[in-house]
Structure 1
C-alpha cells in the first residue's frame, strides 16, 4: 500500500516536469508573433480566474448571496487600485456583514 503512494508521487513529478520542460524543447526559436505573445501573457491570469471564480461564489455558508456581495466589493476596491490586502479585507468584511444580516432576517 505504501509503495503505491511513492508511485503516485513519482508519476505526478514526471508529469509536472514534462509540462514545464516540453515547451523549452519544442520551441527553440524566439516567439515573434504579437498575438501568441499576448495570448501567453494572459494565460496565467485566465487560469487563475477560472480556478477561483467558482470558489468565490460557493465558499461561504450563506450561499451565493454573500459570495456575490464579496465579489462586487472586491471588484470596486480593485478598480480603485487598492492593495491586494485591502481588497481581501474588504471582501471578507462584506461576507461577514451579509452573513450577519441574513442571520437576522432568517
Structure 2
C-alpha cells in the first residue's frame, strides 16, 4: 500500500476521535464525576506513553531508575523542566559511566 493511504487513514482516524465527542455530547456536562475523569485523562495518557519509554531509553534498568528518581525528586521541588530533564539525563549517563556501559 502507498504511504499516502496510511497517512489518509490516520488523518481520518485522528479527526473522528476529536469530532465524535463534540457531536455526541450537546451542552455542558454537569456531572462532577465525568468532569473529574475528563480532567485527568491527558495526565494519564501522557504518563502511560512516557513511563515505558523512560525505562527502555538507556537499555539498562538501573540507569533508567536513577534518572527517573532524580527527575521525580527535582520535579517535586518545582524546578524548571529544563533543569529536571538535564539533571536526570546526566544522572543516567553518569550511572552508565560508573557501571562501564558507555
CA distance in 2, matches of 1:33, 1:51: 28
TM-score (norm 2): 0.93
Counterpart in the other structure of 2:87: 90
Q: For residues 45-66 of structure 1, what are the alpha-carbon distances to aligned partners after superposition, in whole Å with 9 as ceiling and x for unaligned?
A: 11111111011111104x1000
The alpha carbon displacement at 1:93 in A equals: 1.0
Counterpart in the other structure of 1:28: 26
Counterpart in the other structure of 1:7: 5
The alpha carbon displacement at 1:35 in A equals: 1.1
Q: How does 1:30-45 map to 2 (within 5 A)?
A: 30-45=28-43
What is the aligned-residue RMSD (CA, Å)?
A: 1.3
Which ranges of structure 2 fall in alignment gaps of 5 or more residues?
none
Counterpart in the other structure of 1:75: 72
Counterpart in the other structure of 1:18: 16
Q: Is 1:65 paired with 2:82?
A: no
Which ranges of structure 1 fall in alignment gaps of 5 or more residues?
none
Q: For residues 80-101 of structure 1, what are the alpha-carbon distances to aligned partners after superposition, in whole Å with 9 as ceiling and x for unaligned?
A: 0101111101101101110111
TM-score (norm 1): 0.89
May I ask how many residue pairs the two structures share in their alignment?
101
After the TM superposition, list the runs of 4 or more consecutive aligned residues in structure 1 that deviate by more than 6 angstroms.
Answer: none
